[in-house]
Amino acid sequence: MARTPTPDDASRMPPNPDAHATEDAADHQRGNGDEPQQMVAGQHATMTTNQGLDISDNQNSLKASPRGPVLLEDFILREKIQHFDHERIPERIVHARGSAAHGHFKLTRSLADYTTAKILTEVGEETPLFTRFSTVAGGSGSVDTPRDVRGFAVKFYTKEGNWDLVGNNIPVFFIQDAMKFPDLVHAVKMEPDRGYPQAASAHDTFWDFVSLTPETFHTVIWAMSDRAIPRSFRMVEGFGIHSFRLINAAGKSTFVKYHWRPLLGLQSTVWDESAKLQAADNDFLRRDLFEAIQAGKHPQWELAVQLFTQEEADGFPFDHLDSTKLIPEELVPLTVIGTMTLDRWPDNFFAETEQVAFCPSHLVPGMDFSNDPLLQGRLFSYPDTQLSRLGSVNFHQLPINAPKCPFANQQRDGHMQMQIPKGRVNYEPSSLDPTSARATPDGFRSFAERVGTGDVDDAPKSRIRAESFADHYSQARQFYRSQTKYEQAHIASAFVFENSKVETLHIRERVVGHLRHIDEDLAQRVADGLGMETLPDAPPTAVPARDMPESPALQIIGKMKDTLDGRSVGILINDGSAAATVQSIRQAAESAGAMVKIVAPKVGGATLDDGSKLAADGQLAGTPSMVFDAVAVILSDDGAIALLGESAAIDFVRDAFGHLKAIAADAGAQKLLDRAGIEKDAGIVAASDVDAFIKAAKTRQWEREKKVRMLA
Ligand code: HDD
């Protein structure tokens, strides 16, 4: 019986020349050399089974007859389906959704006085690294732009072993003791009976937990600020949060806090924009990072440190071992020591971004931990979670996790052992193999901290929270009062939004009660926003808030840069749009550093007034103005009239206006603006005035906000 031709017939043709070109490499992979052999996908011209058997048909399973049952014998089908069935691994219990990139760190200032760590002492040295950004609460398939803290984890592949700096984009944490971490995470993740909300803290269990845990309030107020709705991973700060130790050649310890500062400046979205982005583009932040790196716009961050001694720490008005506290820059200034550049997107999301395993316990000689009880708990949790996630104590052998310096010891075997250790010696001390790995005096040494001095009191062991951890409100007050009036309004509105989703009245009341300790005005605004008739009582507190000096470094707006560098501009066109205007805006925006995208009703583009056809980068219905930092609308009269009946076009300008963005419009486009009810202000400029547009596009129109939104 004649066989029906299948698509696989094409694959029986001679492999393409490019594939032949890689055959040598593939043969090498499968050869008999000394190295352990690894089949790398794409490096062999013909398709094989996992055992290296060439496959002749990848379209049809083996059947008893063309219409008969499939045979159990078909090991090729079984292997393929079985492998597929096991593709997924457990997602991270927190920070499941993330995006990562390769890059390097270059040291510009030596910390040799403080540490022996080569990565912090060898000026000019470039250390490869891998950085993963993440949301915290949502699952791996959730959205990029919920209101949430962002993870900022960096794995430095140093000459002396891997150093992982596993931080967040907020410099403080919700809780003081790792004992509370499972409770915090259970409370913020989707509720266990209903399985929602996904990736959102706006629900009863989160606010129930935090309102019963006053230590959370400093971080909660940060999480209600615009830091939790960033415009881009490229525009977030990063913080190691805990105090760590640096140890110098003389064995002296200095405490250090790490800060990442984006060269593009901080930039956030407004909440309505963030919420709409969740519908417009689930992958907004991932796409943004990918597109920037692919376009050669490699994001950079300065690494800065705050250094302080035990004696200085003893004089701070709070305990530096308490992760709910930060050290204001005004108290201990930041010293910039180097730059991180992210310049390469991973080749494979699963192998790299998903399998990367960060652990705060990964450090190098010349560094050590502090006694922060949150950090101490983390030292256990991360390697432990990698076992359930990656399935083996050999997770360090995965290429993304393996140090790039030599590593050796007598640990052996275990699931998925990828190495083939040689010889008889798998123990130490040993004399049979003089080349077997030995400990070295230059290796890692813990700081010889003495109990009864410095940070460690001479006291009986106990399950007790230090009294020095008891002030939960002073820094929250300092944070709130340091913000601009726009940011204060956003914080109040965020509390209102989140607590409006809380169904249980007494939880809402408890939250507002806590806010009274932070700032009466904030509490009143939130109470008004929630429609409360009276202010609830503040809960009792051991330590009332003290007034601390305002710290402008805590703002976002103060740290935004008036720039189009790394930002994006969308130009909405239709048939008949003025080619010259489109071109001049595009040129000016690109020379100011922006990425420019053309948006049209049809992705094929539009025919401009000079008869040329301009292809669109995005179709109007799928490319709303949320994905841009500023927009230009260039329309002929007819082109505008055609769009008056298209709500996506009206929304394009209305949302840009509502999200406080600059809009350039020509005469035709004005019809659309009129239909959308947009009033002229400093951010609405004539398309012919390109300079004015570029100037306005570099910032958000904060003064406009009171016209478009009832903020708390
Ligand atoms: Fe954590 C992941 C950051 C406290 C337990 N954490 C994780 C990631 C980041 C942070 C960025 C994602 C890493 C990646 O991209 O793979 N975590 C923090 C910060 C904390 C913190 C800045 C406080 C200062 N974490 C913390 C505590 C515990 C954990 C107190 C447990 C006692 N964190 C974990 C974890 C995760 C994790 C369960 C999940 C996936 C993973 O570790 O690799 O072990």
Q: Which domains does the chain have, with CATH numbers?
A: 98-180+223-397 (2.40.180.10), 563-708 (3.40.50.880)
Mutational test site, ligand 1, from 95, 176, 213, max ligand atoms within 8 Å of CB: 95
Pairing mode, if any, of strands 300-308 and 630-633? unpaired
Please tell me the distance from the alpha carbon of residue 665 to that of residue 687, in angstroms, as a whole number.
5
| CA–CA separation, 172 and 159 (whole Å) | 30
Grade residue 390 by pLDDT with cuts at 50, 70 and 90.
very high
**Of 283, 172, 272, 165, the residue nearest 232 (C-alpha):** 283
- Determine the pLDDT at residue 39: 52
Could you give the count of Cα atoms lying within 13 Å of 174 in the half-sphere of its Cβ? Answer: 24
User: 358 CB less than 6 Å from ligand 1?
Assistant: yes
pLDDT for 1 beyond 70: no
Does residue 19 surpass a pLDDT of 70? Answer: no
CA of 359 to the centre of ligand 1 (A): 8
pLDDT at 46: 94
Task: Over range 318-329, report the average pLDDT.
Answer: 97
DSSP 212-257: T-GGGHHHHHHHTSGGGSBS-GGG--EE--S-EEEE-TT--EEEEE
What separation in Å is there between the alpha carbon of 384 and the centre of ligand 1?
Answer: 11
Q: Which residues are registered as beta bridge partners of 341?
A: 104, 300
**Cβ contact 300:336 at 8 Å:** no
Q: What does R_g of the chain's alpha carbons equal in angstroms?
A: 29
Asked if the model's pLDDT at residue 369 lies above 50, the reply is yes
Name the residue at shortest CA distance from atom 44 of ligand 1: 382
Per-residue model confidence as pLDDT tens digits over 224-240: 999 999 999 999 999 99
Is residue 374 lining ligand 1, measured as CB closer than 6 Å? Answer: yes
Q: Given a cut of 50, is residue 18 above it in pLDDT?
A: no
Q: Is the peptide bond before 429 cis (omega within 30 degrees of 0)?
A: yes
Query: Distance (Å, rounded) from C-alpha 109 to C-alpha 305?
Result: 11
The β-bridge partners of 162 are 157
Tokens of 675: 């239909």
Parallel, antiparallel, or unpaired: how do β-strands 98-107 and 126-135 relate? antiparallel
pTM: 0.94
pLDDT tens digits, 190-206? 999 999 999 999 999 99
- For residue 124, the model assigns a pLDDT of 98
Confidence of residue 36 (pLDDT cuts 50, 70, 90): very low
pLDDT at residue 370 is higher than 80:
yes
C-alpha distance across the termini of the chain, in Å: 77
Q: Is the CB of 241 within 6 Å of ligand 1?
A: yes
**Residue 94 Cα to ligand 1 middle (Å):** 7
Q: Is the pLDDT of residue 640 over 80?
A: yes
- Model confidence at 159: pLDDT above 70: yes
**Angle formed at CA 52 by CA 48 and CA 53, multiple of 5 degrees:** 65
Mean pLDDT, rounded, for 171-186:
98
Average of per-residue pLDDT across 93-122: 98
Residue whose Cα lies nearest atom 28 of ligand 1: it is 378
Tens digit of pLDDT for each residue in 263-290? 999 999 999 999 999 999 999 999 999 9
Phi, psi of 211 (to 5 degrees): -75, -15
Model ipTM value: 0.99
Q: Which residues pair with 607 in a beta bridge?
A: 613
Residue 457: pLDDT band with limits 50, 70, 90: confident
* Average pLDDT of the residues of the chain: 93
Taking residues 474-478, report their average pLDDT. 98
Q: Which residue has the higher pLDDT, 605 or 13?
A: 605
Rounded CA separation 606/481 (Å)? 50
Question: pLDDT category, 459, cuts 50, 70, 90?
Answer: confident
In this predicted structure, the answer to whether residue 14 has a pLDDT above a threshold of 90 is no
Collapse the DSSP code of 397 into the 3-class scheme (helix H, G, I; strand E, B; otherwise coil) and give the result. Answer: helix
Cis before 197 (ω within 30)? yes
| pLDDT for position 93 | 98
Closest by Cα among 366, 419, 375, 382 to 397: 419
Residue 219 has pLDDT above 90, yes or no: yes
Q: In degrees, to the nearest 5, what angle opens at C-alpha 193 toward C-alphas 189 and 197? A: 40
CB atoms closer than 10 angstroms to residue 221: 25
**C-beta 132 within 6 A of ligand 1:** yes
Identity of residue 689 = D
> pLDDT band for position 11 (50/70/90)?
very low
Average pLDDT for 64-76: 97
| Any ligand 1 atom below 6 A from CB of 94 | yes
* Contact yes or no for 493/712 (Cβ under 8 A): yes
Share of the chain above pLDDT 70, in %: 94
3-state class (DSSP) for residue 204: helix
For residue 76, the CA-to-ligand 1 centroid distance in Å is: 40
pLDDT tens figures, 336-368: 999 999 999 999 999 999 999 999 999 999 999
Q: Which residues are catalytically annotated? A: 95, 168
What whole-number percentage of the chain has pLDDT above 90?
91
How does residue 42 score in pLDDT terms, banded at 50, 70 and 90? low
Ligand 1 in reach of 171 Cβ (< 6 A):
no
Tell me which residue of 591, 570, 576, 586 sits closest to 636, measured CA to CA.
576
User: Separation of 39 CA from ligand 1 center, angstroms?
Assistant: 33
The arithmetic mean of pLDDT across residues 100-126, rounded, is: 98
568: which residues sit within 8 A by CB, 6+ positions away? 594, 595, 596, 597, 627, 628, 629
Residue 241 has pLDDT above 50, yes or no: yes
Is residue 268 a contact partner of residue 566, using CB atoms and an 8 Å limit? Answer: no
Report which protein residue has its CA nearest ligand 1's atom 12.
95
* Residue 66, CB-side half-sphere exposure with 13 Å CA sphere: 5
**Residue 322 reports pLDDT greater than 60:** yes
What pLDDT, on a 0 to 100 scale, did the predictor assign at position 446?
A: 95
412: pLDDT strictly greater than 90? yes
Residue 31 pLDDT: 38
Question: What does the block give as tokens for 641?
Answer: 């009239």
CA-wise closest residue to 255 among 83, 353, 111, 93: 111
Pocket test for ligand 1, best of 162, 381, 396 (most atoms within 8 A of CB): 381
CA distance 104 to 155: 10
pLDDT of the residue at 450? 86
Six token digits for residue 648: 């996506």
CA distance linking residue 585 with residue 693, whole number of Å: 8
pLDDT at residue 6 greater than cutoff 90: no
- Ligand 1 atom closest to the Cα of residue 133 is 15
Spacing, Cα 74 to ligand 1 middle (Å)? 44
Least confident of 56-60, 295-299, 450-454, 675-679: 450-454
Mean of pLDDT values over 120-137: 98
CA 384 to ligand 1: nearest atom: 44
Is residue 453 within 8 Å of 522, Cβ to Cβ? no
pLDDT at 27: 39
